[in-house]
Every structure is written in C-alpha cells, then in structure tokens.
Amino acid sequence: MGKNVLLVDDSSTMRKIVGRSLRQAGIDFDNIFEAADGIEALEILEKEHIDIVLSDINMPNMDGISFLREKATRDNIKGIPVLMISTETGDDIIGEAKSLGAVGAIKKPFTPDKVNEVLGPLL
C-alpha cells in the first residue's frame, strides 16, 4: 500500500502550495487528500488510509488544536502522526499541540527544503 497524506488548511491556496512544496522537495505521496478544517479532517481519517497529516492551526469550525484533542480520543486514528504547518508557532501553542500528539511544526512561510528537513525523517 502506498503512502497517503492529508493536508488540512482552510486556505485552498495554502493546500496547493503545500502540495507543490512536497513535490519540489522530492517527497512523493500516492494520494494527497485535502480538508478545510478539523471536522473534515476527522471524517477523512475515519474513511481513508492516511500515513501522515499536515495541519494548520488557525481554522474555522474546528481549529488545529481542537482537531488534535478530538483525534486523541479515537483509538483507531490517534496514532496517525500530525505535523503542524502554521503561522502560529509560539512556544505555548506549539507546546500544547505537541502535548496533544503533534510530532513537529513548520512555520509559514516555508521553503520546500524546510518541508523536506522536517517531514523527511517522519516518513
């Protein structure tokens, strides 16, 4: 089974940019799934085989922190790693995200090299 990634961001622009950065970084996924908020992300995680999630924090309906908190309560999906990609990179917020299971964070703006540096070792 190939590797699948889920991109979670309310900005369609940013989902496209992250997808492009993955390709430019030479990181190939068989399938790239997209969600506009934490609610959509949970629905996709319940239905699809996802290897890693790249998620924004500041989103409507269900933000990235609430998404992590809800995901952590579901035994069937709580082990899927989540990497935060956000403008929100303050120590307090990233600390909370990591306490809820996030495996790391990339600050916007980012370069494909930065994506490769952080994401590469997680795959």
Q: Which residues bind another protein (CB under 8 A)?
A: 10-14, 16-17, 20, 58-60, 86-94, 108-111
State the pairing for strand pair 31-35/4-8. parallel
- Least separation in angstroms between CB 85 and another protein: 11
Which of these, 93, 83, 69, lies nearest to 121 by C-alpha position?
A: 83
Of the pair 26, 109, the CB lying nearest another protein is at 109
Of the pair 48, 113, the CB lying nearest another protein is at 113
- Give the torsion through C-alpha atoms of 98, 1, 77, 22, to 10 deg: 40
Of the pair 12, 99, the CB lying nearest another protein is at 12
- Least separation in angstroms between CB 77 and another protein: 26
- Least separation in angstroms between CB 58 and another protein: 6
Q: Collapsing DSSP states into helix, strand and coil, what is residue 71?
A: helix
- Least separation in angstroms between CB 96 and another protein: 8
> Number of helices (H) and strands (E), helices first, in the chain?
5, 5
Of the pair 90, 120, the CB lying nearest another protein is at 90
Quote the distance between the C-alpha of residue 4 and its chain's center. 12
